[in-house]
Structure formats: C-alpha cells, structure tokens
Structure 1
Amino acid sequence: MNFVIGIDIGTSGLKSIVVNKKGEVVDSHSISYKTEHPQSGYSEMDPNIWYKATLDSLNHLLSKFDKETISGISFSGQMHGLVVVDEDGKSIRPAILWNDTRTSQEVEDIKQAIGIETLLKHTQNTVLEGFTLPKLMWLKAHEPENYNKIHKFMLPKDYVVYKLTGNIYTEPSDAAGTIMYNIKSEKWSKEILNQLNIDSKICPDVIASHDRSGTLTKDIKEKLNIDWEINVYQGGADNACGALGSGITDETKQLVSIGTSGVALSIENSANYENDGNMHYFSHCVPNQKYVMGVTLSAGYSLEWLKQLIEPSEDFNTFLQDISKSKLGSNGLMYTPYLLGERTPYNDASIRGSFIGLDANTTQLDMKRSVLEGITYSINESIEIMRSKDIDIKEIVSIGGSAKNAEWLQIQADVFNVPITTRTEEQGPAYGAAMLAAMGEQWFNSFNDMNETWINYREHVSPISSHTESYEKLFNIYKLIYTATQPITKGLTQFK
C-alpha cells in the first residue's frame, strides 16, 4: 500500500502523520519547540527550527515503512509569518510570527499611504499587526540592512518546502494572508506593492496548493537515508488545511477550530462578494474557492495561560474533568480572552483581557468554565457577523482542543445555537496537508471524491433550548465589556 505524509508547522510544535489510501492515519510524530519573545510584543523563531523538526519527523517516520511506499509529502503552516532569505537562500534573521504585534506604527503608515478602501479593493482585507505586509514594512524601517539583503520572502511552510526541494514557491491560501495578494485575480497586487515601493521580485511565485513543488534533493535524501524519489507538494495555510481536513469544501458546513488561536470559517464563493474588513476573506487551498474567517487571538492560549497559573503539571483532561460542577454562566463570572489583543471584530492589538464578576464565592472551577465560555463568546462574535452577511450557519464542525471535551462541545452548541459535529479522524491541519499530497499524487479525481472516501463524522451535539436562551442573554452582556474596558486597559499600558 502507498502512503502520504502531512506535516503541520504550528506555533508551538510540528505534527506529522502518515495516511494510507483509505484515509486512515497509520502513524504520527510530534515535536515541540518554543517561540522567542526578545521584547514585549515580539514573537520570533529561527526558521531552521522548523526545518530541523521536519527532518527529525521524517527520519522517525520513514524508517518504519518499506522502501518507496511513501510517495508524497505536503504541508500546513501557521499563517502570516515573515521569513526572508538572501541570494544564497540563507535565512537573514529570525522569522517574525503571526502573533507578533510590534507593527502598530507600520499598520497606521500603510493605512495613511494606501487607505482602507484601496486595501479592500485590491486584497479584500484590511491591514492588521499580525499580517505579513506590515512586518515587511517594519523590516524596511528598522532593519534596512536586512531588508536590502532580501532575495525572497516566504511564509513558514514555504521555507521548509524550499529547504527540502531547493525551490521557492507559495500558494494562494498563504499568499492571501500577506495582504499583498489580490485573491480575485489570484496574483500579487501590483497596486499595493507599487504604492509601498516594494519590489515585486521578492515575492515568491504562486502555484496551486496541491501542485508539486519538486522532489527531495540529493542532500536531503542522504540525510534521511533513502534512495527513492519523494514528491513534495506546496501545501496550504493552517486554517485552510484545517477546513479541508474537516470536509469544509462547500457552504453546507462551517468550521470552528480552537488551537492557540480560535477560528470560525465558512466557504463564500459568491462572485460578487465584497469584504468590508470586519472579517478576513482568503483563498482556500481547494482551487477556485474562497472563505470568510473570524479570529480569536487567544483561544486555547487562554486556557493554557490559566492552567499554568493554577495547575501547570496537569494535562488538559484532568484540568477540565469537573467543569460541569460549575453551572452555566460560571456563577456570574465572565472572561474576555484578550491576552494578546483581539482580532475579530475589534482589530485592536492593545485591548487586554479581564475577569468580570469575581466575588468571594468564585471557585477555580468557575474560572475554568468562564474561560471556556469567554473563548466561545468571542468566536460567536464572528459567527454573528457571518449571519449578518446572510451566511446560513447550518452545522459546525468543531476541531482542536475544544472537540475533545464534552462539556465544551455542549457550550459551543448552546452558544452558537447550531448542531456541533466532530471528526472521526481528527488530526487538525496535518490531515488537510495529507489530503493535498494525495490529490497531488492523483489518488482522486476531485476533492469531492476524496471527501466521500476520507471524511467521516462521529459526534453530533445539539443545542439545549433553555441553555441557548440563557447564553443569548450572557452573550449580550459579553459584548458590552470591550467598550467598557478598552479605555481602562489602554490607561494601564503606561505601567507595564
């Protein structure tokens, strides 16, 4: 039997899986790494850490399989990160990651130079600190000696693909997240690049997500101790791959993914759709498809933060095992997950989180549940916007950490007021990457054919009407907190 490998290059670790033609995951390997924070608001990583982790994972997996049975590899990667290389292909400086917020001034400069209307016209998105474009402009302003060395910029997964094949490409789903790419024409935006005096030559060529980037180089095959050809396919952005791996390839289902950040995503293929900037509008890793997406910056990160404060040695299952003992509404406690600012719908890098309603009867369980509820309320703000745009939210596929906890799944069903479904083979974006490799290997004629064979669902959680009514009231209270606390948290920044 033949196999493909899907590799997800995440923020805190790399996950690789081996998948057979039936869509079954037959092996996996994970490696953790740490992000560097050299200054407040900075988030960086040496991109060679991803490359080394990829080699280590491939060495681990390839040694277990017969010669030539693994024929293809593809990738999923964290979005928006900036990797820059010189003419020799060497990394010039550490990658600046998606959750880096140093670029507030550059965001304002871009808005002044181009204008929001022009950005929306040419990229269908506004500009935010996390995106690639302001990172490039920050480099130009603060590290001109490094900027002037740039031969090409890449996204995180693209750098690893380059190291494996020697070829520099990107693909539509990651290109869209740079805010330099026109997702309607599927080309780099000459208008944006010219107005900001960015040489288009530093932009990588764009190929389809399931297109072959090349094969493993001779040097890489020696490092992996193999003597046969393995095709490498370009892959996709993590959210696009997470959607593909969950069967989200048309408008019948939506996605909620909770990892470090949280995402609500729905396919939107209308030819006349024009984004107003409240949501993101990106290219899918499925050809000719687009999606709208809202983001909560500190979703699973909020839970990790609380766990480190209360019980750092516990695993998440143990940490949340008695959560049902705190009743709906967390005993009057509410949490806003603004630890790193907030993306949708506020686009505010300076807002900070809060617990509202603490009293002498508040317990640790109330705090845990309020974090789960607060994350879910935040994602519901994105879903509320989707509904206002006439997107029919029919059924949500939940993946990530929230899909592993029964109480949290019920909270999602009740807050979103829609049935929640989970995947039988829930492997996150790595599974979508494997699907791209399988399509590249021509195992299927279409993505729809592959969905019918590979995508299965196991759990359906329905909303409880009495819970939904209570959560609707609580959600309306939640939406008041941002406006009330924004000037307070802004005032507190002078004391940091």
Structure 2
Amino acid sequence: MSYVIGVDGGTESIRARVFDLSGSCLGSAAQPYATQFSAGARAEQNPEDWWTAMGTALRQAVAQAGIAPADVDAIALATTSCSVVALDGEGSALRPAIIWMDVRAGAEAADVLATGDPALVVNGAGEGPVSAEWMIPKALWLARQEPENYERAATICEYQDFMNLRLTGRRCASLDNASIRWHYSTERGGYPKSLLAALKLDSLLEKWPDAVAAPGEVIGTLTQRAAEHLQLPQSVKVVQGGADALIGMIGIGVAKPGQVALITGSSHLMFGVSDRPAAARGLWGTYADAVYPNRHIIEGGQTSTGSIVNWLRRLAGGNLNLNAMNEEARKIAPGCDGLLSLDHFQGNRTPYVDASSRGAFVGLTLAHGMPHLFRATIEGICFGSRLIFERMSQAGFPASEITIGGGVVASELWLQLHADIAGLPVSVPKASEAPSLGAAILAATGAGHFASIDEGIAAMVKPGRRIEPRQAEAAQYGEIYERYQKLYPALRGFCERPSASA
C-alpha cells in the first residue's frame, strides 16, 4: 500500500493527516504553537516551533493511521502565506517570523505602490492596494528598520520555504506563494527585478531562493536529520505545496475555468480559475500558473463574514443557538421584512477596497427580532459575495458555479442563500480539511501516482451536495440587491473620525 501525508500549517497550529490514494483520511493530529503580539499591529512566531510541532503531529498521525512508515511515499505542505522569515547561512532564524497578520509595514506597502511598476498589475490592475502583509513590504521593513538582520540574512523566505528547507536541505520557493504575494510572474520573467530596483532593494534577489517549484513538483527527499525527526524513511519525497487557502482549492476540487472556490470562516475568500489573464480595480490577480499550469487565479474577499455571526452571538450573551436560529431565520421571507445589512463591519476588502467603511443595519423596526438580524446578516454577506462575482465577470471572468468549503457548509440556509442571491449553483464536496487534502493530492501527484493534479482531484476529492438557485427567490433577491448596492455610496464617509482641528 502507498500513503501520502498532507500538512496544514495554520496560524494557531499545524495539522498532519495521512491519506490513502482514494482520499480517505486514516490518521490526523495537530499541535499548537504560540503567537507573540505587540504594539503596532505586530504578530510573530518562532519558526523552530513550527518544526517541532510538525514532527510531533506527523508522528502521531502516522501512529493513529496504523501504517508502516516505509509505506509513506510523499509529503507536501499548505501553510499560511506572507509569514516571512530571515535565515542565516545555516538555515536558522535570525529573528522571529513576521507572520501574515502583522501589518507593521504599512508605510513600505505605500512605497511599493508608489513605484507604479508593471508588476503591480495584480494589485487592482495597478491601482492598489498593496497589502502590508505581503513579502516585499515586510522585506523592505527589515532592510530599513533592522538592517543588521537584513544584511546577515542569507535567505529571506516564507513559512513554506523554511519547512521545505528543513525537510530537504534545498532552498526552493513555492511558485504559488511567490506568484500571489511576491509579485513573481511566469509571464513577466520571474522575480520583479524592476520593482526591487525602484525600491533600492536589489539585494533581495540574492536572498530569495534561486529555485522556484510549482505545486506538485518534487523538491527532493528527506535529509537524515528530517527523517529522524519525522521517523520516516529518507526516501520519502517532499513535494511543493503553497498557501493554505489556494491549496485548499485543490482539496475541494476547484480546477476548471469558470469555477470559483469560496473558502469561508471568519472571512470569505474567493478564488476563481480562468484560462486567460484578467485584471480589474478592486480585485487581486490574476496569478499565472500559481496553482495549476496554464491557468490563472483571480482573487477577491470579504473581511467580515462568520465574524459577524460571532458578534451576534456575543450580543446574545453567548447563548445564540445557531441550529435554532437557522431554523427560525429560514421561515422569514427574502428581505427580512424590510431589514437590510451592510457587511462592512471591519471595512471592505474587495471590490471597494475601503478600510474605513463600516457595517450597518438599515430599516429596523420594533417588529424585528434576533432571527431577522441573523438572516439579514447572512443576506448582506451573500450580497457582498455577489458584488465580487460581478466584478470578476466585468474583469472577463464569468463564474459558472461556486464550490464552498469551511464553516458555511454547516448551514443549509447560508448555502441556499448564496445560490439564490448569486444566481449560481453551489457545490459542497465531501472534503476532509481542504488544505491538508489538497497538499496530499499534490504529494500523490509528485510521487507519480497521478499524471496531473486534475487526475489526483478526480481520484481523491469526493463529490457531495449540489444546491441550485431557486428561481422565484432569485428574482426577489435581484430587486433587494439593487437596494444593497446603494448602501455603500450612501454611507461612505459617514463613520469617518472627525479631524483633530474639527
């Protein structure tokens, strides 16, 4: 028998899962690690904690699966993106990793955008924003604020690359991470040399890994040290993965042009697969070859989604029964008796790209109760999703269906409203932890069990439910959506803080 391991390196923990070649998970284990927060929106982790935690989780997963370590063929990782590490010549961290949620590099991000370099086409068709989370702003911050660490760094890379270096001894970047957050492009000659030159950061090219491997490509086999740490044979292949959300696309089977992955949780992330490049203000991408060869990925997202539902639970004193609330909200007609919600509780990520925008409930009466607030919240989020899908269509990417993974799949109401409001069918595959399954599919492909990632998806991703839009409800929501679209322009700037001189 042959088995593969998919590793999901998240923000709070790392999870290892053992899969067979049909996609069944045989063993799973997770290990947490700490994040250090400090003033200035800073968040850091110790890379050694990642390595220690992976060893423990992987050994436990293999033991739970009850398989012989010699039967493991390959391993691949899906990790948080934009978690930047600076390493010395021996591969040890010079300082804690600046993880994805750290936004200390806000000024540097503005300086990157100000260059106007052609590589910025992936940032809203060149209009921005450039996120302070991304690789180049963080590297520029290091060069300016910690020049001693920057100069000493032999390698500046990400969580993904650090782990693969530890596993194989090879310095190799992920085409996925580099494409979506380093401004790397297979269509524009690789690394963004002119952008780095404009920032006087040419030296970063020497610190980035020379090799770049696409998801599914073999990086190498385990070093003796790594094999001992994981208690696996040195013959185990290490296969390139990438950013957790995008590798999660593979785990829910989104690979064909026209498909959209909707990854849900505290926020919504949308990744569309296209057979041609597309760029538009208010969207990120497209990223050529970032997940699949000869295909592009277009990206959108909503900052607050599941987090708004959690906010409602807090308002209810933590006693909001979601199953009961879903059932009560289901009985309410579309439009919630005139109640409308704007989903911008923490600003708008796309398509308005407005961090100062805020959420609102409009049309409240004394007849409205918590079920109305609950349903209006979900409807508002689904309207925000539709707005992004329409912007994608304007960019030349018309979505044909939505495949959903994450917390939303537990709510039949939410799934149906996404279908009704977007006017698109919704698929919910039987995915077991999409990022780790996606990584396992890449591992199996790299090990030679499948000729392509698509073939691996066909074998390892199990189809699940399909929800069709209801025509009558879709027509009703078309009218309500027009009202939703008027909310943001009407409320724009209303919640801005007055100036100090006012």
- The answer (yes or no) to whether the contact 1:403–1:409 under 8 Å persists in 2 is yes
Q: Deviations over 1:446-490 (max 9, x none)?
A: 233323322332211111223222322333333333334442333
Per the TM alignment, residue 242 of structure 1 is displaced from its structure 2 partner at its CA by 1.8
User: Could you say which residue in structure 1 is the equivalent of 2:111?
Assistant: 109
Question: Shift of residue 33 of structure 1?
Answer: 5.0
> How far did 1:417 drift?
0.5
Q: Give 1:196 deviation, angstroms.
A: 1.2
Given that 1:124 and 1:275 are in contact with CA atoms closer than 8 Å, whether structure 2 keeps it comes out as: yes
167, 174, 177: which one aligns with 2:177: 174
Q: Is the CA contact (8 Å cut-off) linking 1:35 and 1:44 kept in structure 2?
A: yes
User: In the alignment, what sits opposite 2:50?
Assistant: 50
- Take 2:442 and 2:467, find their aligned partners in 1: how far apart are those partners? 29
The answer to whether the aligner puts 1:275 opposite 2:279 as a matched pair is yes
Q: Which residue of 1 aligns with 2:206?
A: 201
SS of residue matched to 1:83 = strand
The change in CA–CA distance for 1:465 and 1:239 in structure 2 (over 3 A counts) is same
Check 1:307–1:100 CA distance in 2 against 1; reply closer, same or farther (3 A cut): farther
Q: For the residues of structure 2 that align with 1:481 and 1:468, how far apart are their CA atoms?
A: 20
Given the alignment of the two structures, is residue 436 of structure 1 paired with residue 438 of structure 2, yes or no? Answer: no
Letter in 2 for 1:120: V
Aligned counterpart in structure 2 of residue 479 of structure 1, from 475, 485, 488: 485
Is 2:165 aligned against 1:159? no
Task: Using the TM superposition, give the Cα deviation of residue 434 of structure 1 relative to its aligned residue in structure 2, in angstroms.
Answer: 0.7
Deviation at 1:212, TM superposition (A): 2.1
* Cα distance in structure 1, aligned partners of 2:352 and 2:253: 29
Asked if the contact 1:22–1:454 (Cα under 8 Å) also holds between the matched residues in 2, the reply is yes
CA deviations 1:279-312 (Å, max 9, x no partner) are 2222432223221111223333433444455455
Which piece of structure 1 moves more, 218-227 or 103-112?
218-227
Task: Show the counterpart of 1:465.
Answer: 471
Unmatched runs of 5 consecutive residues or more in structure 1:
none
Change (3 A) 1:401 1:115: same
- The answer to whether the 8 Å contact 2:73/2:237 transfers is yes
CA distance in 2, matches of 1:147, 1:446: 39
After TM superposition, give the deviation of residue 191 of structure 1 in Å.
Answer: 1.1
**DSSP-derived class of the 2:162 partner:** helix
Query: 1:475/1:32 Cα in 2 relative to 1: closer, same or farther (>3 Å)?
Result: farther
1:73 counterpart = 2:78: no
Please tell me whether residue 148 in structure 1 is matched to residue 151 in structure 2: yes
Partner of 1:234, secondary structure, is strand
| Partner SS state of residue 22, structure 1 | coil
| C-alpha distance in structure 2 between counterparts of 1:203 and 1:123, whole Å | 25
Match of 1:120 in 2: 121
Q: 1:400 to 1:107 in 2, by over 3 A?
A: same
Structure 2 match to 1:96: 98
Aligned: 1:238 with 2:253: no
Amino acid corresponding to residue 112 of structure 2 in structure 1 = I
Distance 1:320 1:152, change over 3 A: farther
Structure 2 distance, partners of 1:92, 1:460, is: 49
Which region of structure 1 is more displaced relative to structure 2, 182-191 or 400-409?
182-191
Query: Where does 1:283-298 land on structure 2 (aligned, <5 Å)?
Result: 283-298=289-304
Task: Tell me the CA shift for residue 443 of structure 1.
Answer: 0.1
Query: Do 1:266 and 1:291's aligned partners in 2 also have CA atoms closer than 8 Å?
Result: yes
Given the two structures, how large is their TM-score scaled by the length of structure 2? 0.88
Cα distance, 1:111–1:390 mapped onto 2, change above 3 Å: closer
What is the DSSP-based 3-state SS (H/G/I as helix, E as strand, rest coil) of the residue aligned with 2:165? helix
For the structure 1 residues 279 and 152, does the alpha-carbon distance in structure 2 shift closer, same or farther, using more than 3 Å as the test? Answer: same
Name the residue aligned to 1:190: 193
Letter in 2 for 1:223: H
Partner of 2:20: 20
Q: Which residue of 2 aligns with 1:259?
A: 265
Which secondary structure state, in structure 1, belongs to the residue aligned with residue 497 of structure 2?
Answer: helix
User: Does the C-alpha gap of structure 1 residues 388 and 31 become closer, same or farther in structure 2, counting only changes over 3 Å?
Assistant: same
Q: Superposition pairs for residues 321-400 of structure 1, below 5 Å?
A: 322-400=328-406
CA 1:327–1:26: 2 relative to 1, 3 Å:
farther
Q: Are residues 171 and 201 of structure 1, via their aligned partners in 2, closer, same or farther at CA, if it must alter by over 3 Å?
A: same
Aligned counterparts of 1:91 and 1:485: Cα–Cα separation in 2: 46
TM-score (norm 1): 0.89
User: Which residue of structure 1 aligns with residue 225 of structure 2?
Assistant: 219
Deviation of 1:188 after TM superposition, in Å, equals 0.7
**How far 1:153 sits from its partner (Å)?**
1.9
Indicate if the aligned counterparts of 2:117 and 2:194 stay in contact, CA closer than 8 A: no
Does the Cα contact within 8 Å between 2:344 and 2:357 map onto a contact in 1? yes
- Percent of counterpart pairs with the same letter? 26
In the alignment, is residue 41 of structure 1 matched against residue 44 of structure 2? no
For the 8 Å contact 2:119–2:192, the answer to whether it is kept is: no
